[in-house]
Amino acid sequence: MSELHLLDAAETARRTSAGEVSAVEVARASLERIAALDPGLNAMSQVVATEALAEAESRDTALAAGEPCGPLHGVPVVIKEEVDVAGTVTTFGGEGNSTPAAADAEVVRRLRAAGAVVVGKTTMPEFGAWPYTEGTSRGLTRNPWDPSRTPGGSSGGTAVAVATGMVPVGLGGDGGGSIRIPSAMCGLFGLKPQRGRVTTAPHPHLWWALGTAGPLTRTVLDSAIFYDAVRGNVATDLYAAGDTGSFTEAARTDPGRLRIGWSTEPVTLGVRPDPAHVRAVEATARLLADLGHDVREVDPRYPDPTLAFVPQFFAGIRDEAAMVEHPERLERRTRETRRLGAWVTPRVRDWALRQTEEISGLANRVFDDVDVLLTPTVAHRPPRVGVIDGRGTVGSTLKAMPAIAYCALWNVAGNPAANVPAGLADDGLPIGVQLVGRSNDETTLLSLSAQLEQARPWSFPRW
């Protein structure tokens, strides 16, 4: 099998732009790797081999004609099932739709404009409702580090595809931790950007104020390059982020001396972090101090995000369920969730959005004293696959609590937050820590994450 899968997105684009390898060769290597590995992992829901090879050939033709190359020239990418890709059905992880999308979502259009080659779409739980990638429609997606374990979710298919080198980078989404959770469980870098940083077009929002799209990557630089290619808004977006500088430049810049507060206290009451996660945060705090930062334990004084999160969660599921062509085909758990969320009227939803503003202000008090907050990303080790298999809405929600205990608050608050790999735990599976930044300050998180990546490099097995 080709060794091209070992390359990150930045190096792949450099080689294809220089003519050292063709985009067709890279795309073919990606498709071969998908064919070899995916049957045992279930990362991919749709593979568009013919279209990908044709798109790669167009990249090679453009290069030969002397046209300028984009920052992702010839880089294979995968797209989470909730995002439109022209010619494929936007399944949302289920069977509710049957008609292929007529056009790309804006974020996919921008990826193609940057030179990327779309090779397929990735599995997710229906509507991304749960932090584990499993359901009756698409089955169980497995963690490549240990196929008996979950890769997390809801961007679990994307995480598996990137971790195994099926592609160097893939698009996910995060409405309650869905980029960061699978990144933590699969050993990836995953930055949830500031609310409104990435357009949600053709939809005006993703789960109202909670959701945003973004990449899962093997390197910090790849994430930065991807974001610079896709970020920005269109007129129909409900939310827009504030101004910020180049993400790519930030990933290549020393962060300087930062004030970093750390805490292992969960936001969610009744959840206890696994001791391995506590040790990972403490070890990262020591490393950051050794790198010259002002590091201290803090009390984040977390507000309770429930009153803002829960109504928007139900409203988001109900909105997406209302868009599908065949609502009778929705999974039983999804139909139950839609029914249980009937109390979220537009008035209740708007009240929850006002609570979001208040909770955001309270959550951001911690940044009066520090520049970055360091916490665990998730509370538990990756559970065995089937963790929500056969469970209803209430049972699945209880199982989700340890996964979202540190993540969901920052969807409510809107702040950027990233999972940064922190090595392997004693169980042989990856472990990650979360870095949370001030509003609109992804650049500091990228600079600091790149510094950690250099000081404590992470790598992947030759699957």
In a domain, 94, yes or no: yes
In a domain, 21, yes or no: yes
Q: Cα separation of 199 and 233, whole Å?
A: 5
**pLDDT tens digits, one per residue of 301-336:** 999 999 999 999 999 999 999 999 999 999 999 999
The domain total for the chain is 1
- Structure confidence at residue 384 (pLDDT): 98
In a domain, 143, yes or no: yes
| 431 Cβ contact partners less than 8 Å away, ≥ 6 residues apart | 184, 276, 277, 280, 421, 422, 423, 424, 425
Most distant pair of Cα atoms in the chain: their distance: 61
In a domain, 462, yes or no: no
Tokens of 151: 């890769």
Provide the CA 141 distance to its chain's centre, in angstroms: 16
pLDDT (mean) for 21-44: 98
**pLDDT tens digits, one per residue of 44-57:** 999 999 999 999 99
Active site residues: 80, 154, 178
Q: How confident is the model at residue 352 (pLDDT cuts 50, 70, 90)?
A: very high
Q: How confident is the model at residue 462 (pLDDT cuts 50, 70, 90)?
A: confident
- Structure confidence at residue 199 (pLDDT): 98
C-alpha dihedral, 20 to 162 to 89 to 45, nearest 10°: 120
In a domain, 433, yes or no: yes
The identity of residue 343, as a single letter, is W
**pLDDT tens digits, one per residue of 253-265:** 999 999 999 999 9
Q: How confident is the model at residue 32 (pLDDT cuts 50, 70, 90)?
A: very high
pLDDT (mean) for 220-232: 98
**pLDDT tens digits, one per residue of 145-164:** 999 999 999 999 999 999 99
Q: How confident is the model at residue 206 (pLDDT cuts 50, 70, 90)?
A: very high
pLDDT (mean) for 202-216: 97
What is the reported pTM? 0.97
**pLDDT tens digits, one per residue of 394-446:** 999 999 999 999 999 999 999 999 999 999 999 999 999 999 999 999 999 99
CB atoms within 10 A of CB 262: 23
In a domain, 463, yes or no: no
In a domain, 173, yes or no: yes
pLDDT (mean) for 338-344: 96
In a domain, 321, yes or no: yes
Specify the DSSP element, H or E, that contains 421: strand 417-424
Q: How confident is the model at residue 463 (pLDDT cuts 50, 70, 90)?
A: confident
Q: Cα separation of 364 and 357, whole Å?
A: 11
pLDDT at 1 over 70: no
Nearest-5° angle of CA 427, CA 180, CA 258? Answer: 100
Q: Cα separation of 363 and 370, whole Å?
A: 13
Cross-strand partners of 259: 294
- Structure confidence at residue 101 (pLDDT): 98
Domain that holds residue 41: 4-455
| DSSP string computed for 198-216 | B--TTSS-STTTT-EEEEE
CATH number of residue 204's parent domain: 3.90.1300.10
315 and 341 Cβ atoms separated by less than 8 Å: yes
pLDDT at 269 over 90: no
